[in-house]
Structure 1
Amino acid sequence: MLRYFCFLAVILGARSASAPFLTPCKKGDKACIVASAQAMVPILAPGLPELNVPSLDPMLLKVVKSEEAGLRLTLKNTTVTGMKDCTIEDARLDAESLDVVVRCSVVLRGWYKLRGTILVLPIRGEGKDTIKIRDIVISAKAKLATVKGADGQEHWHIKHWEHSFDVRTKTTFDFDNLFDGNKNLSDPVDAIVNANWKLVMLEIAPPIVRAITERVVDAVEAFFAAVPSRELQIA
């Protein structure tokens, strides 16, 4: 997701004193940019404590709330895994903007509480949840600025970002304890929700994807704060 902004930013310049694992690419060499970004995924996914970049796989989301289409959903202490296996599908960079398209399959596990209607069906429950998303494609765009850091050097900064997403393959939902464990009520609703996963994702996924994206932006900002822009310049 947007965490891959940092992949693109760092792979484009000469080797960095702050991050010597970076691989440079020539300006405009799109194939190199995409390939180098892909190579960085497993390096950056677990985090880089020496650069104050937090772990993004696993990623912990303490609270995510959604109130859409008559449904109130709260996710707590959700662990997101799978981002280390994401695929960079496209990447572009110029002096003021950074665009990336990334495909991921992720699993979210935690605790949920929901009440209201979903697909016009009444639903309620509270307990453990598992959400498996296969092939979510996120297109992210960022506007960049250059600012002076605490070290007196110039650093990149994301001043604005936006994103969109589409799930290409499938999402499965497992909400334990729906209707207080009454399977006569929960089993039919569970079957309908999973059969209509794409519509359900349109109702509940936007706040979840945005929460993950915000965590990624924080990680990118931490990386930019640690590495001067002169070490990330396009060759």
Structure 2
Amino acid sequence: MKCVVACFVICVLGVAQGVNITACKQDDAACLKASAQAAVPLLAAGIPDMGIASMDPMYIDQVKSLQAGLAMDFRNTNVKGLKNCKVLNLKRFPHRTDLDLKCSVTMEGDYTLGGKLLIMPIEGTGKYRIKIRGVVVKIQLDIDEKPRDGATYWMVKNWNYSATVEKDVHYKFRNLFNGNKQLSDAIHEFANQNWRDIFQDVAPPIVKVVVGRIVTETTKLFNHVPIEELVIR
């Protein structure tokens, strides 16, 4: 990733039941950023009363994809570090919210890889660890409003994102080439020297899953808390 990426869209705005965060006017950028930053560790821990799951660590059952000649299967992944994400920017529009986050995360789990890693053949199955330092995730939520029981709530219609790494990525795959140390060392040296290009090949499926999970939890927040409690009109 992102792994991903990852990051917290559920700190989008304001005050939630049981979460003491200041509500802001939608054009008050400084207030929005500070409010979102204060919400990150609280919401990362989860809000059981709203059915919002803990996201640090975030468990991902499986991410499987084939792209750029590389077959990837990541399983039983735990993503750690999202509670320390920094809010770089938060903007609210009538029907859109833009959120930029900077995070450093570690992903650990089981993997199976086969094909080419850029120009290098790769094959293996075992345990993996990917450390990502300084991934910037820009998330855009398209939002509509819906009335219910005398109040108005936000509804996420669509979302998209982009992710870039400012510092570095370190890869560790155990049991590459059935434990051949010479081949394994060569792949790790290549991967960790070319981490930026490899991140673009390996990370997108994982980042999308992580961001999608966050959007799902956001929807739970929006379903429970009226707009009037999230933003000062």
Same amino acid, percent of matched pairs: 37
1-side partners of 2:216 and 2:192: how far apart?
32
Q: How high is the TM-score relative to the length of structure 2?
A: 0.93
Cα 1:234–1:3 change in 2 (3 A) is: farther
> What is the aligned partner in structure 1 of residue 117 from structure 2?
118
Distance 1:229 1:86 in 2: 25
Which residue number corresponds to residue 127 of structure 2?
Answer: 128
Partners of 2:183 and 2:7 in 1: how far apart? 40
The CA distance in 2 between the partners of 1:102 and 1:43, in whole Å, is 16
Q: Does 1:66 align with 2:95?
A: no
Deviations 1:111-157 (A, max 9, x none): 000000112111000000000000000111111011245x5643211
1:51-200 equivalence runs, <5 A: 51-149=50-148, 153-200=151-198
Give the secondary-structure state (helix, strand or coil) at the position aligned to 1:9.
coil
Does the 8 Å CA contact 1:19/1:227 hold for their aligned counterparts? no
Secondary structure of the 1:207 match is helix
Question: Retained in 2: the 8 A contact 1:144–1:158?
Answer: yes
Q: What SS does structure 1 have at the residue aligned with 2:39?
A: helix
Alpha-carbon distance in structure 1 between the residues aligned to 2:120 and 2:19: 54
Shift of 1:5: 3.1
Contact 1:10 / 1:22 at 8 angstroms: preserved in 2? yes
Distance 1:52 1:201 in 2: 33
The residue number in structure 1 matching 2:44 is 45
Mean CA deviation greater in 86-95 or 139-148: 139-148
State the 1:3 CA deviation.
5.7
Q: Give, in angstroms, the shift of residue 190 of structure 1.
A: 1.2
- 3-state SS of 1:137 partner: strand
**Alignment-mate amino acid for residue 8 of structure 1:** V
Instruction: Note the alpha carbon deviations across 1:176-212, whole angstroms, 9 max, x for none.
Output: 0000101021111111111100011011110010010
The partner residue of 1:5 within 6, 9, 13 is 9
Report the secondary structure of 1:10's partner residue.
coil
Aligned alpha-carbon RMSD (Å): 1.7
Structure 1 stretches of 5 or more lacking a match?
A: none
Rounded to whole Å, the distance in 1 between the matches of 2:23 and 2:151 is 21
| Matches of 2:26 and 2:222, distance apart in 1 | 20
Partner residue of 1:226 out of 224, 227, 230: 224
Residue 76 of structure 1 and its aligned partner are, at CA, apart by 0.3
Give the Å deviation of 1:56. 1.0
Contact 1:25 1:33 in 2 (8 A): yes
- The answer to whether the Cα contact below 8 Å between 2:14 and 2:32 also exists between their aligned partners in 1 is no
User: How many angstroms apart in 2 are the aligned matches of 1:170 and 1:158?
Assistant: 32
* Corresponding residue for residue 22 of structure 1: 21
Distance 1:35 1:60 in 2: 28
State the TM-score, normalized to the length of structure 1: 0.92
Residues 5, 98 of structure 1: 8 Å contact kept: no
- Going from structure 1 to structure 2, the CA distance change for 1:27 and 1:160 (only over 3 Å counts) comes to closer
- Going from structure 1 to structure 2, the CA distance change for 1:175 and 1:152 (only over 3 Å counts) comes to farther
SS of aligned partner of 2:25: coil
